[in-house]
Amino acid sequence: MSVFDDTIAAHKDDVVSYENQVALGKPRSAHLRDDEHVFIKVVISLLEQGKIDPDVPATFIKKEEYEKLSDEGRRVTDEALPNISSLLRRIVDLHYRKEPDDSFEMASFIASLWHAKSRVEEWGDVFVF
């Protein structure tokens, strides 16, 4: 047997209570910087105005800027869009939960999105946010 199998067998009767499952599902508190709060407000405003839809990447791309990109720039952008779209959905979902935005999870999602966005924007300013 492998170490993994031994570990699973050793804990097969362990039960996590419902209360512990709920507690584990809550975002961990953390302080967001001002620029992170501003970013959330911008994204939520664009979403509520119907200007962007995380499920439709074309809504958060500046088409005229995208078309100016080289083939390589468009390829980089196209490859990043599924991740950026997913991160936007996660940010929006977390924002609309009853817990405050100030969490490690929100900070991590924003940092990941900004990192992906910055790689694309080496080729041009293609995003509306």
pLDDT tens, N- to C-terminus, the chain (129 residues): 799 989 888 888 888 888 988 888 888 999 999 999 999 999 999 999 999 999 999 999 999 999 999 999 999 999 999 999 999 999 999 999 999 999 999 999 999 999 999 999 999 999 999
State the Cα–Cα distance between residues 27 and 102, nearest whole angstrom: 9
Other Cβ atoms closer than 10 A to 97: 14
Decide if 125 contacts 73 (C-beta within 8 A). Answer: no
Decide if 101 contacts 32 (C-beta within 8 A). Answer: yes
pTM of the model: 0.81
The domain spans of the chain are: 28-120
List CB contacts of 102: < 8 A, sequence separation 6 or more. Answer: 29, 30, 31, 32
Dig out the tokens for 122 from the structure: 């080496």
- Helices 104-120 and 34-48, interaxial angle, to 10°? 80
